[in-house]
Structure 1
Amino acid sequence: MEQQNYDAIWASVVEQVKTHADVNPSQADAVLARLTLQAFSDGFCIVTADNAFMKGWVEKNFLDHVYRALEELRGVPFTVVLDVDESSAPQTAAPAPRPAAAPQADQGATDATAAPVKAAAPAPRATGAAEGFLNIPNPFARQTAEPEPEPQQEAAPEAIAPEPNDAAEPEAPVAASPTSSMTFSNFVIADTNRIAYEMAVSVAEKPGRAHLNPLFIYGKSGLGKTHLMRAIQNYIQETQPHLKTVYVDTNELVAGYADATAARDTQKSSYKHFKAPYESADVLLVDDVQILERKPGTLDIVFQIFNKLTDNGKQIVLSADRAPKNIDMDERYTTRFNRGGTFDIQPPNVETKVAIIKSYIDEFRLNEGDETLDLPADVQAYIAEVSGSNIRELKSAVTILFMRMKGFHTDTVSLAEAKSLLENHFTGGPSRRVTPEDIQKQVEGYYRISHADIIGKKRSRDIVLPRQVAIYLIREMTDLSLQDIGRLFGGRDHTTVMNSIEATTKRLHENTQFREDLDTLKGLVREALS
């Protein structure tokens, strides 16, 4: 059977998988399109992924749906062999990755004054052993948004339409976005960001493919969304320099729209000038699109740009601090934002944060030219345990400690000194130790159940779910043993506690909304402590 027929068969399987109620269609499109049907007959097929990670991810999240879709389409049960064919990975002229020097003055992704740094292209399909994030922007850099113009100031349709005499107008400076030091090579991969990383690399290798257009990456502030977007930009600029990439923070879009509105009376083409740099892009990366909430003027003109680019096969990459469905804007916008691949980045666990801290230490060693620079293991562990989800704060904590060592001409810092220096540093960290009672109280309030119910014997779903959540959070946020946790919930044994933790962990991997609920609960617990 010719490959084109295999492609058509596989496309029909993907479409069938997308009809399943418990499948995210955009994610199915993005992931399953990375697979290749190699052999097919009734009851049997061979499918290959281009790397082991993608194979494992499909096995865990989609293989059961593939079995089901094949049987639904063909009417017979199927045996599916899923293997790895690395030769099918997209090929590029990318140079071998090289270590990136830490920036001397990286003032954040939107700081146009930062010195450009030549970007190292990634090793495509990398699944690096180290886990963390590097070269996070300065956490103290401030960004301010211009006020959104009143809706009645929006341009009339004729003012937005192209004007014949404007073809030679110069483009705004934003089109020449500076190259940052954020690359795929220095983005350290963890389970919490791996799939978003894979999809970002896929877009960088071959921008414009429908199943990843737009690519939408979301997660809380400081988890690496901007890093991935800048890495896409850097990779394309180095490996496909004929393509024009434009990165813009949404605050800049809002300010630019305000300027165009203000100039409209004297400059009829102001809206066209505003849009021109973005509409001429081959790859447009827009950071923090949640800022467009309740800004109908800017949102409408951004939507025009979005439609023009995607209709012409140009790549859009978007980021936000939440999923498209949770951004307060008209459904026609969120539907389009969610049309391609939508992937989240979750906060790193303690082990990953320790690895990130080690990577920052390596960065400081390189900057200072001093291989002896280090922080004691107990200090590293302390920073990882008390810090919140914002990875930027890890780097600033390491910076504070190294500056203290430098100022006092010492080559180490004690745990007591670190605790004193960082006592009020972490916005997401607790100001006092979390207790099981704190967690139970917040879970009870969130799910509107009584304390008697959460520790009692009732097994209805509206009680079991909050009970499992409370058990999971106590295990994660305190150092209590399984037996001690069981005693807090009516004397349950450690096996029951473990089952609750496993059930919650499984639900976390499968349900994005549930992950967001747990993030909210963690925030409520920490806020109650401050």
Structure 2
Amino acid sequence: MDSEMLEKAWGDVCSQVKSYNNIDPTQINAFFSRLHPQAMSEGFLMLTADNDFIKTWIEKHYVEVIKQALGDLYHIPYMVVIEVDVTAAQANAQPAPVQSSPVQPQTQMPAAATQPVSATPAAQSNPYSPSQPYASPSHAAGGAASVGLGGPSSSPAGAEEYAAHGISSDVDEMGKPTSSLTFENFVIGDSNRMAYSMAVAVAEMPGKAHLNPLFIYGKSGLGKTHLLRAIQNYIIETMPHLSTIYVDSAELLSDYMEASAAHDKEKSSYKNFKTRYEDADVLLIDDVQYLQGKKQTLDIVFQIFNKLTSQGKQVVLSADRAPKNIDIDERYKSRFNSGGTFDIQPPEIETKLGIVKSFVEEYRINEGIRELSIPEDIQLYIAESSSSNIRELKSAVTKVIYQMTFFNQPDISLADVRDLLENHFSGGPSKRLTVSDIQKEVENFYKISHAELIGKKRTRNIIYARQIGIYLCRQLLDLPFNDIGKQFNRDHSTVMYSVTNVEEKMKESRELREELEALKQLIREI
């Protein structure tokens, strides 16, 4: 079969897989893009993957559904063989630090350990695979699973963390991962694709100079902790000889204060504190913005940071804002920003809908209620109404599930859900929020008067604030352009231009995206 026919046949297989009712096409698009057909004959298909990681995950979770698609298309059983494209793997390889060893092929992950997922930037587990009707990360970490940018834990009431974002946990005394936050259960969308891809790259080969440190930032509940934990769990699973430490900055601060309480730098407690982190091969520090104003702790962190990176050891940091927006000394900002810095944006509707589906599926798995099903219109309502914080979305799904199961209302309607969640959401469409509310917050934020906001002045700062106000009214209230225009003394075309202009600028400016998110938070707190 020539290459053109081979590519077409593989395309047909991918389309067939995506046609199954229990398959999410966006997941297949992202994941299968890292597979390449090499040979095909009657009853046989050979594919290559970019690396061992992808090969292992495909073999474990997707081979059977590929076979099913081939059988449906060609009406004979197929053997599917997956090999690693050595050329691609070598092309992508970077020198590893001396203490690291390459990731070895994993023909089967231990059932009790956290399982990694594909290294593709958009790869994620597919809990709907026909080959594993209820395959899920519950096999990992002793069964305490949470799905993707957000699935529930083993019980809805027990998981506060969001999937990308799921439940927070740690490792036991033996270093065995107990967290359910893995790459496989992180739901990928345009909002987090790059950060995810870079996290996987670091997990596969810690210490790459251009990603050391790796700095991931974004608002609370968007998946920073999930990615840090996923890196930790993947390295523990595949490179157990490396010392991997995850620490929240609050815990780090507490450790430091305890160790240096007597201000005696010769105390064994202080030495043990510093040695613990300096001996790490991979150090992951979460929420570093909480260290601002803590000069002594920052100085120690900076020393540890420099020692590790100079030795080719990996440092990963997270914060709720970009390094330049953290109130710390310029030298810290410069070093934090010296590797790879990537942001996570609020998930788009499609991603949130995927998270809702994952929540529901995971609950079915963990509770054994296979007949549980939330109607599509209710799932969409939750996705559209929830704010950027996926913990809020998760708790909304939990409420609906409880109403259906524990309160014996299996045929719950959209109207019932609207009543149930009437006061639940902090973002999304809001009946209580008004144009005046948004205008007031914009005026306070940009230090201009109401008369200037809706008046004829065209100085740059006023035009900028006015366009932001118009954009926020459109996004948060979903009002027609003409209705918004009346509140700003502008016509329909001016309002449309303002919205489009802000949307275009957001694509290029992280600063603007952060600014808008801060404004939205202020508005939600009204």
Change (3 A) 1:457 1:97: farther
* Aligned residue number for residue 134 of structure 1: 150
Q: CA deviation at 1:384?
A: 2.7
Deviations 1:259-289 (A, max 9, x none): 2124676982211111222111111111111
- Cα distance, 1:96 vs structure 2: 7.9
**1:237 CA drift (Å):** 2.2
Residues 117 and 180 of structure 1 are in contact (CA less than 8 Å); yes or no, is this contact kept in structure 2?
no
Distance verdict in 2 for CA 1:475–1:277, change over 3 Å: same
Pairing partner for 2:119 from 106, 110, 124: 124
Shift of 1:200: 0.9
Change (3 A) 1:210 1:174: farther
Residues 132 and 367 of structure 1, relative CA distance in 2, 3 Å threshold: closer
- Report what 2:502 is aligned to: 504
Q: Distance in 1 between matches of 2:194 and 2:410?
A: 39
In structure 2, how many angstroms separate the alpha carbons of the residues matched to 1:416 and 1:352? 24
Aligned counterparts, 1:150-299, within 5 A: 176=175, 178-262=177-261, 268-299=267-298
Q: Name the counterpart of 1:521.
A: 519
Q: Is the alpha carbon distance of 1:378 and 1:321 closer, same or farther for their aligned partners in structure 2, counting shifts above 3 Å?
A: same
Whole-Å Cα distance in 1 between the matches of residues 152 and 248 of structure 2? 16
* Paired amino acid for 2:150: L
Larger relative CO (CA 8 A, sep 6+): 1 or 2? 1
The one-character-per-residue Cα deviations of 1:307-342 (angstroms, maximum 9, x if unpaired) are 111111100000111111222222222221111111
Deviation at 1:225, TM superposition (A): 0.1
Deviation digits for residues 40-68 of structure 1 (CA, Å, limit 9, x no counterpart): xxxxxxxxxx99xxxxxxxxxxxxxxxxx
**CA, structure 1 residues 436+427, in 2 after alignment: closer, same or farther (shift >3 Å)?**
closer
**Aligned 8 A contact 2:429 2:476 in 1:** no
Decide whether aligned partners of structure 1 residues 431 and 261 sit closer, same or farther in structure 2, where only a CA change above 3 A counts. farther
Contact persistence 1:97–1:123 (CA under 8 A): no
Contact 1:424 1:431 in 2 (8 A): no
| Kept after mapping to 2: 8 A contact 1:290/1:327 | yes
Tell me if structure 1 keeps the 8 A contact 2:284–2:315. Answer: yes
Using the alignment, how far apart are the partners of 1:527 and 1:286 within structure 2? 29
Find the counterpart in structure 2 of residue 387 from structure 1: 386
Quote the residue 2:56 is aligned against.
Answer: none
Cα deviation, 1:58-110, whole Å, max 9, x if unaligned, reads xxxxxxxxxxxxxxxxxxxxxxxxxxx96633495454899x9xxxxxxxxxx
1:334–1:96 distance in 2 versus 1, CA, 3 Å: farther
Matched position secondary structure for 1:285: strand
Long gaps (5+) in structure 2? 1-49, 52-86, 94-101, 127-146, 162-170
* Match runs of 1:16-415 below 5 Å: 88-90=91-93, 92-93=103-104, 95=106, 118-128=113-123, 133-135=149-151, 140=160, 176=175, 178-262=177-261, 268-415=267-414
CA RMSD of aligned residues (A): 3.2
TM-score (norm 1): 0.68
Structure 1 residues 272 and 365, CA, compared in 2 at 3 Å: closer, same or farther?
A: same
Does structure 2 retain, via aligned residues, the 8 Å contact 1:174–1:246? Answer: no
Indicate how the Cα distance of structure 1 residues 276 and 117 shifts in structure 2: closer, same or farther if over 3 A, else same: farther
SS of structure 2 residue aligned to 1:185? helix
Residue 469 of structure 2 is aligned to residue 470 of structure 1: yes
Write the distance in 2 (CA, Å) between the matches of 1:298 and 1:174: 26
- For the 8 Å contact 2:454–2:489, the answer to whether it is kept is yes
The question of whether the paired residues in 1 share the 8 Å contact of 2:121 and 2:194 is answered with no
Q: State the AA in 2 paired with 1:229.
A: L
Summarize the Cα distance change of 1:263–1:94 in structure 2 as closer, same or farther, 3 Å threshold: farther
Q: Is the 8 A contact 1:454 1:467 kept in 2?
A: yes
1:420-439 aligned within 5 A: 420-427=419-426, 432-439=431-438
The residue type paired with residue 89 of structure 1 is: N
- Offset at residue 520 of structure 1 (A): 1.6
Classify the secondary structure of the residue corresponding to 2:284: strand
For 1:514, give the aligned amino acid: L
Q: Would you say the 8 A contact 2:114–2:177 is kept in 1?
A: no
Shift of 1:391: 0.9
CA contact (8 A) 2:195 2:216 kept: yes
Letter in 1 for 2:238: T
**Does the Cα contact within 8 Å between 2:219 and 2:320 map onto a contact in 1?**
yes
Q: TM-score, normalised by structure 2?
A: 0.68
What is the CA-CA distance between 1:460 and the residue it aligns to?
3.4
Shift of 1:371: 2.8
Cα shift at 1:356: 1.5
For 1:335 and 1:97, locate their aligned partners in 2 and report how far apart those are by CA, in whole Å: 42
Q: Which whole-Å CA distance do the structure 1 matches of 2:474 and 2:376 have between them?
A: 23
Deviation, structure 1 residue 424: 3.9
- The offset of 1:446, in angstroms, is 2.0
Shift of 1:224: 0.1
* 2:273 counterpart letter in structure 1: F
**Helix, strand or coil: the match of 1:243?**
coil
Question: What is the alpha-carbon distance in structure 1 between the residues aligned to residue 175 and residue 438 of structure 2?
Answer: 49
Letter of the structure 2 residue corresponding to residue 373 of structure 1: L
Q: Hey, what's the Cα distance between the residues in 1 that align with 2:122 and 2:194? A: 10
**How far 1:420 sits from its partner (Å)?**
3.9
Shift in alpha-carbon separation, 1:511–1:139, aligned structure 2, 3 A = farther
Contact 1:94 1:123 in 2 (8 A): no
Partners of 1:343 and 1:509 lie apart in 2 by: 14
Query: How many angstroms apart in 2 are the aligned matches of 1:175 and 1:450?
Result: 61
Distance (whole Å) between structure 2 residues aligned to residue 443 and residue 338 of structure 1: 30
**Structure 2 CA distance for partners of 1:134 and 1:527, relative to 1, 3 Å:** closer
**Take 1:366 and 1:423, find their aligned partners in 2: how far apart are those partners?**
28
State the aligned residue count: 399
Does the 8 Å CA contact 1:96/1:121 hold for their aligned counterparts?
no
Which whole-Å CA distance do the structure 1 matches of 2:107 and 2:444 have between them? 53
What CA distance in whole angstroms lies between the structure 2 residues aligned with 1:96 and 1:440? 58
2:512 & 2:259 partners in 1: Cα distance? Answer: 41
2:82 alignment counterpart: none
Q: What secondary structure, in the 3-state scheme, does the structure 1 residue paired with 2:116 have?
A: coil
Are the counterparts in 2 of residues 136 and 392 from structure 1 also a CA contact under 8 Å? no
Structure 1 residue 452: deviation in Å? 4.1
Give yes or no for contact 1:472–1:501 (8 Å, CA) kept in 2.
yes
What secondary structure, in the 3-state scheme, does the structure 1 residue paired with 2:184 have? coil
| 1:184–1:228 contact (8 Å) kept in structure 2 | yes
> In the aligned structure 2, how far is the partner of 1:382 from the partner of 1:502?
25
- Give the aligned residue type for 1:500: S
- Per the alignment, residue 33 of structure 1 pairs with none
- For 2:517 and 2:321, locate their aligned partners in 1 and report how far apart those are by CA, in whole Å: 11
Q: Displacement of 1:292 after TM fit?
A: 1.2
Q: Match of 2:501, as an amino acid? A: A
**Given that residues 136 and 224 in structure 1 are in contact (C-alpha distance below 8 angstroms), is that contact kept between their aligned partners in structure 2?**
no
